[in-house]
C-alpha cells in the first residue's frame, strides 16, 4: 500500500458493530493499519439484575436488556460523529432495529453488512441465510492464514466450526457446524429441567474440575466438556477427511480459553468479526 493511500484510509472513520446473541461489541476500525480501537462491550441481560454501561473491555460482565434504549444511546454518545460510518454485523433482529432507529434519529451514516459485501464464494444451500458473523469471521481468517483448507471457529453463546477451502482459485465458504456454547447450554438446562438451577455463567476460566460436588459444578463441568468435546470431534472429522494438518483460526469470547485444549496447529485471533468488518470497509474504500 502506498503512503498516500495509507493516509487516506487513516483519515476515514469507521465504527464496527457486532451484534451477537450474547451481547454487542463496538470499536473503531483503522483501515490503513488494519487494527482495531478499544472495544466497547456489553452483554444482553437474561434476568432482572441491575446494569451499568461502560466503554471498556475490562468489564465484560456489564449487562443490559435488549429493549433498554440506554445501550444504543450510549453507543451513539461514545462513537457518534458527523464523519462516522457505522458498519453493522447482526444476528439479532430486535437489537439491530433498535440501533438502526437510534442511528437514523441522530443522522448517522450506517451500512448493514450482507452477503453482497462478502469477498468469498459461499457454497451452501442458502447463502443468504448464513449468519453474517460466520462469513465475516471467515473473511478475516482467510487473511490471517494462507493455508487451505482452513477451519474457522468462534466460541460464544453458540459455537461455530466452519470450513474454508479454495475452489477454482477462489476462497470458498463451504458451511460448517453450529452447537450451543456454555452459557446457552446452561440456560437451556435451567429452563427445561424443573429441579436444575438457572446458572448465569457467561465465561469459563478453564475446564471445571470433575467430579462436580454440587449441582452447579456438575452442570458447569458437563456443559463445558460437551461444548469442547463436540468442537474437538468436529475438528477431527474435518482433518480425517481433508488433511491432518488443516489449521484452525479460533476467536470468540471463550476462544482463548478453549484453544489450549484443541489439537494444533491453531492460532487465536481476538475479535475476528471486527477484523472482517475492517476488510469490508477497506473494500468499500477501494470501489
Q: Do the Cβ atoms of 201 and 220 come closer than 8 Å?
A: yes
CATH of residue 262's domain is 3.30.420.40
* Residues 108, 123 share a domain: no
* Predicted local confidence at residue 183, as pLDDT: 86
Q: What is the DSSP string of 140-204?
A: HHHHH---SSEEEEEESSEEEEEEEEEETTEEEEEEEEEEE-HHHHHHHHHHH-TTSPP------
* Residues 72, 167 share a domain: no
Higher pLDDT, 165 or 42: 165
Domain boundary among 82, 97, 112: 112
Containing domain of residue 10, as a range? 3-112
* Residues 17, 58 share a domain: yes
User: Which has the minimum average pLDDT: 36-45, 197-206, 269-278?
Assistant: 197-206
Q: What is the Cα gyration radius of the chain?
A: 19
CATH of residue 15's domain is 3.30.420
Residues with Cβ within 8 Å of residue 220, at least 6 apart in sequence:
182, 186, 199, 201, 204, 208, 212
Looking at residue 50, the DSSP 8-state letter turns out to be -
* Residues 156, 253 share a domain: yes
Residue 90: pLDDT over 70: yes
Residue 53: pLDDT over 80: no
Domain boundary among 60, 90, 112: 112
List, for residues 230-275, the tens digit of each pLDDT value: 999 999 999 999 998 999 999 988 888 899 999 999 999 999 999 9
Beta-bridged to residue 246, according to DSSP, are none
Domain count, the chain: 2
CA-to-CA distance for 18 and 7, rounded, in angstroms? Answer: 26
Among candidates 18, 23, 17, which has minimal Cα distance to 184?
Answer: 23
> Would you say residue 283 lies in a domain?
no
Amino acid at each position: 500500500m502506498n503512503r498516500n493511500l495509507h493516509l487516506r484510509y487513516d483519515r476515514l472513520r469507521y465504527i464496527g458493530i457486532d451484534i451477537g446473541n450474547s451481547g454487542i461489541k463496538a470499536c473503531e476500525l483503522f483501515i490503513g493499519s488494519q487494527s482495531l480501537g478499544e472495544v466497547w462491550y456489553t452483554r444482553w441481560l437474561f434476568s432482572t439484575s441491575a446494569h451499568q454501561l461502560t466503554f471498556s473491555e475490562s468489564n465484560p460482565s456489564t449487562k443490559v436488556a435488549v429493549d433498554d434504549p440506554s445501550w444504543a444511546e450510549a453507543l451513539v454518545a461514545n462513537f457518534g460523529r458527523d464523519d462516522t460510518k457505522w458498519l453493522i454485523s447482526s444476528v439479532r433482529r430486535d437489537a439491530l432495529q433498535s440501533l438502526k432507529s437510534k442511528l437514523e434519529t441522530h443522522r448517522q451514516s450506517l451500512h448493514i453488512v450482507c452477503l453482497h459485501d462478502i469477498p468469498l464464494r459461499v457454497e451452501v444451500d442458502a447463502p443468504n441465510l448464513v449468519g453474517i458473523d460466520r462469513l465475516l469471521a471467515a473473511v478475516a481468517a482467510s487473511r490471517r492464514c494462507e493455508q487451505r483448507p482452513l477451519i474457522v471457529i468462534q466460541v460464544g453463546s453458540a459455537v461455530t466450526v466452519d470450513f474454508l477451502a479454495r475452489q477454482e482459485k477462489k476462497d470458498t465458504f463451504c458451511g460448517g457446524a453450529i452447537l450451543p456454547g456454555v452459557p446457552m447450554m446452561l440456560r437451556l438446562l435451567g429452563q427445561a429441567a424443573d429441579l436444575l438451577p438457572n446458572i448465569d455463567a457467561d465465561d469459563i476460566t478453564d475446564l471445571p474440575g470433575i467430579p462436580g460436588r454440587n449441582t452447579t459444578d456438575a452442570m458447569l463441568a458437563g456443559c463445558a466438556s460437551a461444548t469442547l468435546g463436540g468442537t474437538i470431534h468436529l475438528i477431527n472429522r474435518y482433518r480425517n477427511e481433508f488433511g491432518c494438518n488443516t489449521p484452525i483460526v479460533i476467536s470468540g469470547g471463550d476462544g482463548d480459553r478453549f484453544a489450549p485444549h484443541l489439537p494444533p496447529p491453531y492460532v487465536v485471533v481476538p475479535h475476528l468479526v471486527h477484523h472482517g468488518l475492517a476488510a469490508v470497509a477497506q473494500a468499500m474504500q477501494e470501489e
